[in-house]
Amino acid sequence: MPRAADPAAGPARTAPDRRGRGAAVEAAARAHLLEHGLRAVAANANYRFGELDLVVLDGGTVVFVEVRYRRDDRFGGGAASVDARKRRKLVLAAQAFLLAHPRYADCPCRFDVIEADGDPAQPRLNWLRDAFRADDV
Nearest partner of 22 among 68, 56, 55, 66, judged by Cα = 68
DSSP letter, residue 10: -
CATH code for position 129: 3.40.1350.10
62, part of any domain: yes
77, part of any domain: yes
| pLDDT at 4 > cutoff 50 | no
Summarised one tens digit per residue, pLDDT across range 24-58 is 999 999 999 999 999 999 999 999 989 999 999 99
Q: Which residues contact 113 (CB under 8 A, 6 or more apart)?
A: 65, 66, 67, 68, 78, 79, 82, 128, 131, 132
The pLDDT assigned to 18 comes to 66
6, part of any domain: no
7, part of any domain: no
| pLDDT at 73 > cutoff 80 | no
Question: In what order do the strands lie in the sheet containing 61-70?
Answer: 39-47, 50-58, 61-70, 109-117, 124-132
How much of the chain exceeds pLDDT 90, in percent? Answer: 68
DSSP-assigned states of every residue in 12-71: PP-HHHHHHHHHHHHHHHHHHHHHTT-EEEEEEEEETTEEEEEEEEETTEEEEEEEEEES
Number of structural domains found in the chain: 1
8, part of any domain: no
Per the DSSP assignment, residues forming a β-bridge with 57 are: 39, 62
42, part of any domain: yes
The pLDDT assigned to 120 comes to 87
Q: pLDDT confidence of 74, banded at 50, 70, 90?
A: low
pLDDT top residue among 74 and 112: 112
* Domain extent for 82: 13-136
111, part of any domain: yes
pLDDT top residue among 90 and 4: 90
DSSP letter, residue 77: -
95, part of any domain: yes
The pLDDT assigned to 47 comes to 95
Q: What is the chain's mean pLDDT, rounded?
A: 86
pLDDT top residue among 72 and 59: 59
Whole-number Å distance between alpha carbons of 62 and 45: 14
The pLDDT assigned to 3 comes to 44
